[in-house]
Amino acid sequence: MIHCRNMMKIYKLDNEIEVIALQGLDLDVEKGELMGIIGSSGSGKSTLLNILGGLDRPSAGKLLVDGKDLLRLSDKELVKYKLETVGFVWQNNARNLLPYLTAVENVELPMLLKGRHKRERAIELLEMVGMGHRKYSRLNQLSGGEQQRIAIAIGLANNPRLLLADEPTGSVDTKTADIILDVFRTLNQQLGVTIVIVTHDTQLMKKMDRVVAIRDGKTSSEILRRRIYEEEFITQLDESEEESESHVELAVLDSAGRIQIPKDYLEGIGMNDVNKVRIELEEGQIVLKNPNLKIQEE
């Protein structure tokens, strides 16, 4: 569904200063997958989501979504893409919902933009997200979690093939976050829609099969549920200690052979201020060492 290679996004500020928000990002998402994207603040998550949603254009690289080349779409094609291929769920409900309309009218609105108006389908979607009983409620009569579920129904109004959600559990408690994740799971299974969820929430992350971590505008690692990892790779994890872990983290190796080493690993071997490492092949393993270590040993 998504095939992204070496994608760059550079913002130009008024004073001619450039901000590199994405620098050579690689990402693959299969059709029908439900996956997460995590990363600290400023790592480029929203930039990526905006580009996937057709709200912004990449500066360079390759990006195919549902077979469409997002670097080459004309403005007209991009409008069609936004209406038909993707749906969006924002963290901020003011961006998802119109408070003076009822739940069902809110779901009908994107349908009207596409020139179709199907009350039955809108009600069906509200039922799918567990909000059928509140279809005629105005939004100020609903809780944050309920509004978020309606936002999901709105995102699905035009039957998109890809649903993008930016911090959908950002402003709700853990219990409500679980309910919302369950809604995404059900829709993923029932409709087969591909779902990409951006989150800060590490608890939410543990409930997904695959999560991609972004650091400094680049894909840094992939966190796979242990079962998926064992299905995908022949390697057996050998340490019983690791058995207790539900997920396995793999560093992403890009086409130029680059990987990002987690900061805490470097700090753990005293390499806070070092910008070079010794790299050695030892008994079939690639080992990175503190370059100062040898000197200390000698």
Ligand X SMILES: Nc1ncnc2c1ncn2[C@@H]1O[C@H](COP(=O)(O)OP(=O)(O)OP(=O)(O)O)[C@@H](O)[C@H]1O
Smallest gap from Cβ 42 to ligand X, in A, equals: 4
81 versus 90: smaller Cβ distance to ligand X: 90
Which residues of the shown chain bind ligand X in the complex (CB under 6 A)? Answer: 11, 13, 19, 21, 39, 41-47
**CB environment 110-130: b (16+ within 10 A), e (fewer):** bbeeeeeeeeebbbebbebbb
Smallest gap from Cβ 198 to ligand X, in A, equals: 7
For residue 72, count other CB atoms closer than 10 A to its CB.
Answer: 9
24 versus 39: smaller Cβ distance to ligand X: 39
Q: What's the CA gap between 196 and 205, in Å, rounded?
A: 12
Smallest gap from Cβ 91 to ligand X, in A, equals: 9
Smallest gap from Cβ 12 to ligand X, in A, equals: 8
Burial class (CB within 10 angstroms; exposed 0-12, middle 13-18, buried 19+) of 237? middle
Q: How far is CA 213 from CA 28, 50, 169, 210, in A?
A: 13, 17, 18, 10
Residue 111 contacts residue 117 (beta carbons within 8 Å) = yes
17 versus 286: smaller Cβ distance to ligand X: 17
15 versus 285: smaller Cβ distance to ligand X: 15
Smallest gap from Cβ 286 to ligand X, in A, equals: 30
41 versus 202: smaller Cβ distance to ligand X: 41
